[in-house]
Amino acid sequence: MEKLFGFVVIDKPPGLTSHDCVNRLRRVFGIKKIGHGGTLDPSVTGVLPIAIGNATRLISYLQGSKAYTGTIQLGAKTTTDDMQGEVLSSKNWPILSKDNLNNLLENFRGEILQRPPLFSSVHLKGERAYKKARRGEKFNLEPKKITINKLELVTWSPEEGEIVLDVDCSKGTYIRSLARDIGETVGCGAYLKELRRTKAYSFNENHLVLLPEKLEFYPEKIKPKILKPQNFLKHLSSFKLCANEELLSWRSGREISFKNNVERLQFPNKNEDSICENKNILVFDHKNEIAGIALLSTNLTIKPKIVFNAIG
């Protein structure tokens, strides 16, 4: 039986946690080794990459920003910075033009410091912040450095006080915090009303499939297509193993030298200044299947870090 290996990109429906989606796919494929590539709150929809089988070991090597389309409601503050929380205060929003809003949004573009929501999974003295918040404890979270690559005003409804934004941001960015801080800058408070993730790493809406229905048995025809991991690891340099002895050495966890054959190392772009800049190397076998991840040494050898189908 062929081993299941790759990524499924679920269009996460509202009301389910990311872990709920993982559990559903465990039943669909009949294996336990499945994990997601980035938590989404239950109310959030959109791109949820899920690694199948040994592809779970590749999640930490994914690279790229996250992108969202979010609706921000001006005029109120909530405990959770979204519509799931209790309203703390409300106030009429001011009359704003699109130019006014765009000028205001400039404060949030680029590298900024952002304070995570109190109801978040941030660790504080060995405990998740949301657990302390649920108990009504008073505490502060330290601002963290994040990057907003793009912050584009899509629509503004002065009558409803609703702002729709397209956001492209670095890992660790909270769109709920962005909504809260925009409300503070406007002076009337705000919370995140709706959110959809449109991109995570190299996964986007073109890769989406629907989460299979909750069934007792899953016929083959409704199982989602598993995408090859190499399509989403193109930022890594690559190395192809020769068959027989070299492949055996790799599977046994031994270093492989290519001093006399440097061209075997392929770079993600042609402007690579040094062959040692990208230390993590994606290793392929002679059949162009992923054999694992290696660490590139300065003496022109690759040292196994992750070996699939290892022996010994």
Residue 249 to residue 228: CA distance in whole angstroms? 25
Residue 101, SS3 per DSSP: helix
Which residues 6+ apart lie within 8 Å of 19 measured at CB?
36
Q: What is the C-alpha radius of gyration for the chain, rounded to an integer number of angstroms?
A: 23
Q: Give the separation between CA 179 and CA 26, rounded to whole angstroms.
A: 35
Structure tokens at 55: 């592809």
CA-to-CA distance for 109 and 151, rounded, in angstroms?
6
CA 68 – CA 165 distance, rounded (Å): 8
Task: Write the single-letter amino acid at 34.
Answer: I
- The residue annotated as part of the active site, out of 11, 20, 41, 82, is 41
Helix count (H) and strand count (E) of the chain?
5, 20
Q: Token digits for 190?
A: 């705000």
SS (H, E, C) 197-265: EEEECCEEHHHCEECCCCCCCCCHHHCCCCECHHHHCCCCEEEECCCCHHHHHHHCCCCEECCCCHHHE
Active site residue 41: yes
Residues marked as catalytic: 41
